[in-house]
Amino acid sequence: MEKILNYIDSKKDEHLAQLIEFLKFPSISSDSNYINGMKDCANWLVEQIKSIGFKNVGTRKNVATIKQDDGTIIEREGHPIVYGEWLEAGPDAKTILVYGHYDVQPVDPINLWHSKPFEPEIRDGRLYGRGTADDKGQLFCHIKSLEAYMKVYGKLPVNVKLLFEGEEEAESSLDEFIAKNQDLLKCDYVVISDTEWFAEGVPSICYGLRGIAYVEVKVTGQNRDLHSGTFGGAVDNPLQVLAWMITQLKDKYGRVTVPEFYDDVVPLTEEERKEFAKLPFDDEEYRKDLEVGALSGEIGYTTLERVWCRPSLDVHGIIGGYTGEGAKTVISTTASAKISTRLVPHQNPEKISRDLANYLRKIAPPTVKVEVTELHYGSPVLLDMKGKGITAAIDALKEAFGKEVVFMREGGSIPIVSVFKEVLKAPSVLMGLGLPKDNIHSPNESLKLENFFGGIRASALFFNNMK
Amino acid sequence: MEKILNYIDSKKDEHLAQLIEFLKFPSISSDSNYINGMKDCANWLVEQIKSIGFKNVGTRKNVATIKQDDGTIIEREGHPIVYGEWLEAGPDAKTILVYGHYDVQPVDPINLWHSKPFEPEIRDGRLYGRGTADDKGQLFCHIKSLEAYMKVYGKLPVNVKLLFEGEEEAESSLDEFIAKNQDLLKCDYVVISDTEWFAEGVPSICYGLRGIAYVEVKVTGQNRDLHSGTFGGAVDNPLQVLAWMITQLKDKYGRVTVPEFYDDVVPLTEEERKEFAKLPFDDEEYRKDLEVGALSGEIGYTTLERVWCRPSLDVHGIIGGYTGEGAKTVISTTASAKISTRLVPHQNPEKISRDLANYLRKIAPPTVKVEVTELHYGSPVLLDMKGKGITAAIDALKEAFGKEVVFMREGGSIPIVSVFKEVLKAPSVLMGLGLPKDNIHSPNESLKLENFFGGIRASALFFNNMK
C-alpha cells in the first residue's frame, strides 16, 4: 500500500494537469448546444480508461423509452454512457462498480464567475471551474487510483467496473440502461463519490438521501376572466382558492396534512439524534447565512433532522392572473402551482405522489375544477451503516485525510442509488469528497486540491480495504 | 328632434367605420410599451372633436404630484387629457360635461381572443375588439350625437364640455387636473357612459358604484434561491407564506378580516333589498353562465347585494418561483401578488388602502420581509335618484330603445364620479350603454351594434332633454 500511496503522491502535477484537460470539455447535458462538448468529453474519458489497461471500454448507447400523453411510445437517444471493466482479480474477489457522471450543470449566470468556467484556474489551494466538484473531479480520483495500481503492480485488488453517465444533470435514463444490462453491471458494491462532507476537515459518509414526489396543480374557476368590480364578492377567485389549498397542505405545526403521509416514515433513532447533535452545526449561523428573521419547519425536530430525516413539502412556482406592471382588476380563470415533497425511508414516492394528487383534488371546493399532473418521483435511500463497503470507506477516508469520519445524511436525492439497490441488489457507498463551499450548481464551482489529492489516496485505500 | 334622429340613422356605416378607426389604436395605459398608441389615439380624438366644430380643443398635459416613501415630491407626466368645448348656447343654458376614457385594459391572455383585439371585427351583430364597450364605443356615441346637432342645426341645445382621459385603466391623476382646472371644467351636470345595463333589453340608470383600493405585496425570504433537497423543511418558503397571507384576508364566512374594514359601510335599506329582489335575476342562470359548480361570497347577502352593496376582496395576480415547463426544485426568494378591495359608501379608500397594507405587514411572519405598495384607490359613490339629469337620461334611454328603464347599482368603480361631486359640485348621470355580456377587461370584449347606434340616439335625446 505504501508503494501505491507514494506513487500517487509523486504524480500530483500530472494528475492535476489531466483533470484540467477533463474539465475543459463543456459537457453541459441539459443544453443541446453542447452536444459536441458531451461527445468529446465521453471519448476522452474512454481513452483515459483504455490507457490504464481496462477492457471492454467504450461509449454505450443510452436509449430512453418515453410514453407520451397520447399513449404512444417514442425512443430518445441520450448522451453516451462510458463503460470499462477489469475483472482479472478472479471470481472470489469482490466486484466494485464505480459510478460517476461527466456531465455538468449550465454556467449561468456567467457574469458572476471570476474565471471562465471551462478554463480551470487555481486560486488559494482550490481549482475553480464547472464540474470540478460535481462530479468530474471526484470521479477522476477513482480513475487515478486504479491507474496507480496498474502501473505499480499491473493489477487491482478487486474486480472493478466503471460506469460514468452523461445525464445526471438532465433527465437521466440510466435506470433503463441498468435494467437492460444487469449482467454487464452485476457487482457486490457500488461506490459513488458525488456528495459533500459535513464541513471542511470533517470527512463524512452519507448513509441517507431523501426522495421526491413532484406534482403540478391547476385550479380553474369560471369560464372567463372577470372584472372584479362587476363580479367581485359573488364568485370564488381561483387564485385565492389555490392559495387556500396550498395553505391546507401543512398544519400549524409544520406537518404535511396529506392522509397517511407519515405512515411509512422511519423514525429517527436516539443514536442518530445524538450523533447529529455532536456535529459542528449552529442554527444561528445557518439563519444568518440565509439572512432570514427566523428558521421554520416541523415542530419537534432540529434543523439537521428536518432536512435529513423528515419529509418536507415546498411550492416551487406559482402563477395566475395579471402579473405585469401596474394594476389590472381581473378575476383570473386559472392559477397553477408546482409542488413537491421530499421523502424519507420508507415513504413510497409513487404512493405519496398519488396521495398528494388525490388530496389536492379532494380538498378543492365545488367552486373550481382541479387538475393535478404527477411530474416525477424518486425513492429515498437509507444505507446500511455497518457492511463491509461502508467500513472500507470509513477506514480509507480516515487514513487518507488523517481525521475522524462522521456519518451524515443529505436532504437531496440521488435517485440512481435506489436503482442500484433494487435492480442490481447492490448496496452503494457514498464516499463523497466535496465540501459545502464548493458552490456546486452555482458560479465559481471549485474543488479543494487537498480533497482531490487526498481523494485519490482514499480511493486507493478503499479498493485495498475491499479485498 | 326627428331631423337629428333621422340624420343619425342615415350615418350608421360612417359612424361604425370611424369607431373602428378609433379602436385600432392600442391605447393600453398601464403598459409603457404602448406610449405611442396612447398619443396617437389622443391626437385622433382631438381631430374628431375639432372637425365637429368644438373650440379650445387639444390635448392637455396631465401632471401628477407624487409623494414618495422618503417624503420627497416628484412630478410625473401622465397620458394626455383630451378637452374641447362648445359654449355658445348662452349663459342661461345648462352646461354638460361629457366624461369618458380612451385608454383600454391590457389584452392578456391574447390566445383566448377569436379575433385580434386591435383589429375590430363584426360577428353576429356585435363589434369585437378591446375598448369596444369600455369605453371607446360608449364615449364615441356622444361625439357622434353632438356632430349630428352641429351638422343639422349648426348648434347644440346646451353648452357642452368634453373631457376624455387616458388613465382610467391605470393610475389616474385626473383628480389633480380637475382640482387645478375648476373654472375650465365648471358645469351643471356630468354625463358618463361607462356602465352596463342590468340585462340585454333592460336600459338602466346606475346610481351607485363601488370604490377600490389596490395594493401589491411582495414577500422576500432568504437571500438566494435554494435547492429544496438541501434546505426543504428548515426554511420558510416565501410562496407558501404569501399563500397563507392571502388566505388570512378573509374569514370562513367570506368577510374581509382587515381591522375596521366594515366600520363605515352603509347598510342596505329594506327598500333597496326589495327593489333588487324584483329585478330579473337568477342565481342558477348566473352560475351556469360562469360555468362554476357553486357561487360563493359573504354570508347573509344575495348575489346582487354582494356585488353592488357589499365590499369585496380579490387577488388579481400572483407570481413566484419557477413557472416554466417541467419541474425545478427551487425555493424561491420572492413571491408577489396584486390585491384589491372593492369598497362601498362610506368606506374611505385611502384609509382602507393603508389599513390593508398595514394588515399585510402585520400578519407577515418573521421568516420573511414584506413590502406593500399602494397602487391606487377610488371612492365609492351613491347618487341622487331624482334630479333633472337622471330624469333626462331615463327619458332619453326609454325613447331611444323603446323599453322601460330600471335603477341599478354597479360593483365596479368610476372613481372620478366622486371627484366631480366633491370638487366641481356637479352630480353625475351614469347613462350606460354596455351589456353584461360585453366581456369588458376580458378576451373578446365586444359592443352590441344595436346599443352603439341606439346610444347615439339616446345621447342626442339626452342633450335635448337637458335644454
HEC readout, chain B: CHHHHHHHHHCHHHHHHHHHHHHCCCCECCCHHHHHHHHHHHHHHHHHHHHCCCEEEEEECCEEEEECCCCCEEEEECCCEEEEEECCCCCCCCEEEEEEECCECCCCCHHHCCCCCCCCEEECCEEECCCCCCCHHHHHHHHHHHHHHHHHHCCCCCEEEEEEECCCCCCCCHHHHHHHCHHHHCCCEEEECCCECCECCECEEEEEECEEEEEEEEEECCCCCEEHHHHECCECCHHHHHHHHHHCCECCCCCECCCCCCCCCCCCCHHHHHHHHHCCCCHHHHHHHHCCCCCCCCCCCCHHHHHHHCCEEEEEEEEEECCCCCCCCEECCEEEEEEEEEECCCCCHHHHHHHHHHHHHHHCCCCCEEEEEEEEEECCEECCCCCHHHHHHHHHHHHHHCCCCEEEEECCCCCHHHHHHHHCCCCEEECCCECHHHCCCCCCCEEEHHHHHHHHHHHHHHHHHCC
Q: Say what the pLDDT of residue B69 is.
A: 64
| Whether B325 and B439 share a structural domain | no
| A314·B222 Cβ contact <8 A | no
| Residues of chain A with C-beta less than 8 angstroms from the C-beta of B296 | 234-236, 365, 367
* Tally of structural domains, chain A: 2
Nearest beta carbon to residue B411 from set A232, A250, A311: A232
Beta partners for B342?
B212, B312
| Residues of chain A with C-beta less than 8 angstroms from the C-beta of B108 | 322, 324
| A322·B32 Cβ contact <8 A | no
pLDDT in tens, B389-440: 999 999 999 999 999 999 899 898 787 998 999 999 999 999 999 998 999 9
pLDDT(B441) > 90? no
Kindly report the nearest CA distance between residue B376 and chain A, in angstroms: 8
Among A377, A393, A426, residue at a domain's last position? A377
B-interface mutation test, from A227, A363, A408, most B Cβ less than 10 A away: A227
- To the nearest 10 degrees (0 to 180), the angle between helices A35-51 and A12-23 is 150
B254: nearest CA partner in chain A:
A233
pLDDT in tens, B35-64: 999 999 999 999 999 999 999 999 998 888
| Whether B81 and B108 share a structural domain | yes
| Whether B17 and B151 share a structural domain | yes
Kindly report the nearest CA distance between residue B311 and chain A, in angstroms: 7
Residues of B tagged active-site: 103, 168
Residue B181 Cα distances to B99, B120, B163, B423, angstroms = 15, 35, 12, 10
CA–CA gap between residue A177 and residue B147 (Å, rounded): 79
| B108·A227 Cβ contact <8 A | no
Q: How many CB pairs under 8 A join A and B?
A: 310
Kindly report the nearest CA distance between residue B116 and chain A, in angstroms: 17
| Whether A440 and A364 share a structural domain | no
Nearest beta carbon to residue B296 from set A247, A367, A375: A367
| B106·A310 Cβ contact <8 A | no
| Whether A54 and A170 share a structural domain | yes
Kindly report the nearest CA distance between residue B442 and chain A, in angstroms: 5
| Whether B100 and B216 share a structural domain | no
Cβ neighbours of A149 (radius 10 Å):
24
Cβ pair A331, A232 in contact under 8 A? yes
B297 in any annotated domain: no
Q: Say what the pLDDT of residue A355 is.
A: 98
Per-residue pLDDT, averaged over B64-68, amounts to: 79
B397 in any annotated domain: yes
A-interface mutation test, from B314, B334, B375, B376, most A Cβ less than 10 A away: B314
| Whether B360 and B416 share a structural domain | no
| Whether A220 and A186 share a structural domain | no
CA–CA gap between residue A74 and residue A72 (Å, rounded): 7
Kindly report the nearest CA distance between residue A421 and chain B, in angstroms: 21
Kindly report the nearest CA distance between residue B95 and chain A, in angstroms: 30
A164 in any annotated domain: yes
| Residues of chain A with C-beta less than 8 angstroms from the C-beta of B38 | none
Q: Say what the pLDDT of residue A412 is.
A: 87
In this prediction, the residues of chain A whose per-residue pLDDT falls under 70 are: 69
| A322·B338 Cβ contact <8 A | yes
| B327·A375 Cβ contact <8 A | yes
CA–CA gap between residue A91 and residue B359 (Å, rounded): 73
Closest to A19 in 3D by CA, of A456, A432, A458: A456
Closest to A297 in 3D by CA, of A280, A314, A285: A314
Beta partners for A241?
none
Residue A168 designated active-site: yes
Among A358, A377, A396, residue at a domain's last position? A377
pLDDT(B256) > 90? yes
Mention every residue, 6+ apart, whose C-beta is less than 8 A from residue B252.
none
Dihedral over Cα of A356, A359, A365, A366: its sign: positive
| A322·B314 Cβ contact <8 A | no
| Residues of chain A with C-beta less than 8 angstroms from the C-beta of B297 | 233-235
| Whether B72 and B170 share a structural domain | yes
Q: Which of A85, A168, A196, A399 is labelled catalytic?
A: A168
| A286·B234 Cβ contact <8 A | yes
Cβ pair B331, A316 in contact under 8 A? yes
B440: nearest CA partner in chain A:
A227
Continuous H helices in A213-262: 228-231, 238-248
| Whether A133 and A70 share a structural domain | yes
Closest to B254 in 3D by CA, of A308, A233, A416, A281: A233
Q: Say what the pLDDT of residue A63 is.
A: 86
| A295·B331 Cβ contact <8 A | no
pLDDT in tens, A414-463: 889 999 999 999 999 999 999 988 988 888 999 999 999 999 999 999 99
B-interface mutation test, from A316, A319, A343, most B Cβ less than 10 A away: A316
Q: Say what the pLDDT of residue B355 is.
A: 98
B286 in any annotated domain: no
A248: nearest CA partner in chain B:
B244
Kindly report the nearest CA distance between residue A10 and chain B, in angstroms: 37
Kindly report the nearest CA distance between residue B283 and chain A, in angstroms: 10
CATH of the domain at B71: 3.40.630.10
| B318·A319 Cβ contact <8 A | yes
Size (chain A), residues: 467
Among B320, B349, B377, residue at a domain's last position? B377
| Residues of chain B with C-beta less than 8 angstroms from the C-beta of A212 | 229, 329
| Whether B318 and B399 share a structural domain | no
User: What is the end-to-end Cα distance of chain B in Å, rounded?
Assistant: 12
A260 in any annotated domain: yes
Query: What number of CA atoms fall less than 13 Å from residue B15's CA on the CB side?
Result: 29
pLDDT in tens, B113-128: 999 999 999 999 999 9
CATH of the domain at B348: 3.30.70.360
Dihedral over Cα of B174, B177, B182, B185: its sign: negative
B304 in any annotated domain: no
A301 in any annotated domain: no
Mention every residue, 6+ apart, whose C-beta is less than 8 A from residue B36.
none
| A321·B318 Cβ contact <8 A | yes
Share of chain B above pLDDT 90, in %: 85
Tell me which residue range forms the domain holding B223.
212-265+311-377
Nearest beta carbon to residue A226 from set B297, B318, B442: B442
B-interface mutation test, from A284, A315, A435, most B Cβ less than 10 A away: A315
Q: What is the DSSP letter of A129?
A: S
| A229·B410 Cβ contact <8 A | yes
pLDDT in tens, B188-199: 999 999 999 999
Mention every residue, 6+ apart, whose C-beta is less than 8 A from residue A163.
A81, A82, A83, A97, A98, A99, A100, A185
A283 in any annotated domain: no
Dihedral over Cα of A340, A341, A342, A348: its sign: negative
Nearest beta carbon to residue A222 from set B108, B291, B439: B291
| Whether A372 and A388 share a structural domain | no
Nearest beta carbon to residue A291 from set B108, B223, B296: B223
